[in-house]
Structure 1
């Protein structure tokens, strides 16, 4: 293996490797879990890129995978540089440590602003876009006071609660996560707020390519990053069916502490937060409640189950047969099942099974779920 790994600094990528990482993550059907398996199996992003067409063809779906070109990746890096931004890869020194510890974190994030803020202990704030005046006021107080107690904030730059949290913590440090590219500020009314965040040593972040306009399915991905960067997540004024509750569920699955501000049972904007409290979320009425709960977790060494090591080596010995390929397809349905259960049920060797899952994934026939579970599409 190369000397890319260092106990103190993590992975160090050169320009060629960084370009290959960006090409791989921007290629069709390569999500975070697939990216990890490709790197761990083939050793480098360059070797994985060379193998993609054959892997996708083996699944016999008739689909040809679209691979990001070197020119496309180089143009994205150059355009990001023109915006005073940069790409940070998983495991590099500036990559958010808390985010690295989640299940299948984004292999590459684009950042405009000060990446040093990712070293801070962070609290996430989420809530209603159509927030009440009292909800906005309380969010501002909570974000301001937790900021003065040494916690940076993270939110999604949306109207209402998100914007209130960012405004109140600009001077103490705030991170805005985008569902689209970092050059696509949404909503546009918060453009000045985004500029102020960057100008005051905060950062804006996205895992999506430059120019990407957010779709409905991109917001849960953004919410996952919001929850993953933070030690705890605060919900203020959320309806029962809202993205804020998705964020709370994701935070809970990651082992983060979920806080909720109680509200009037007569206000539908408080229905979701009140429901979370019934389900065991920590009830809060002041910033002190947040600070006292999270302070023991400051600078905690989060361990990641997501192992990813780049280095020159021979691929693992895996040569699955057509009969094993069919056994796997027959075993899967739309119900998520753990990979270890598939091994036991099919008697396919682990190395061959992981290769078959890669084939199906790249052919667009596999859906991955939290907890190392998969289902067939």
Structure 2
């Protein structure tokens, strides 16, 4: 090289450079890249910090040549704008990128067999290494049950079959948590705005609500129908206020935060104060929930943890990491109650 050529460009950091900086073995760095579930959180964080400091980015093309894999995960997702599926998809994408994988998303226009098969064919044509099926409708999973999928796959929010392939948030437990919170405050007549028919979340949250009521020796109220939207929550609130059966109801558990927002509107319009006259609990903890009027008590789902576990389980099935079995990690991610200003003891 002549002086005119200038200094050689700096060498890109490799996996052994990351290992030296983090004070771990290169095998540990590989496990972090592949989403291995057995690593301690502090070890994973130390490795990720070293990667960031060194501007280390896994070379997906090189990995594909060595492993004969595309290092791409296919995600089959129902088309829609609900917060839960959207947050799950974002969490899966983040966890996949952390593991050195790309994500190829196919949206379902419908939940019939032809649409599902067409979306799967597109993902398979792109050479994905495995599939994550993010389709919370019971009909979608029923259609997929009839298809012969030979590629490694994981289903999210499925409540049936394929134990080694299934992961979800504990929807029923979260609904019971919300209902027990109201019961513990002293409420005895608690209404429930349910989600649309045919969704796993709807059915699981109804079960949790009813179980908590019956465990406390209380009768569940007739369900109020919703469609996940604020408009449907508003209509359910109007129905509640207009019905004779609403007399004596002092609290409502809404199956998601958007419907709770519409309910708050209907209650305010109907002259009911929250929480003085009526307590309200939602589900999801959307980013705006803390800024509702009043700030909404709700159930938080740990979507980042769901995404991490989902990708780790799929990589175990692919063979890029140790297999994750139900004995190693519970298939359901726990929920937590976030208490804010929309709940209080019932009026005397």
The normalised TM-score by structure 2 is 0.27
Q: Which has the larger radius of gyration?
A: 2
| TM-score (ref. length: structure 1) | 0.25
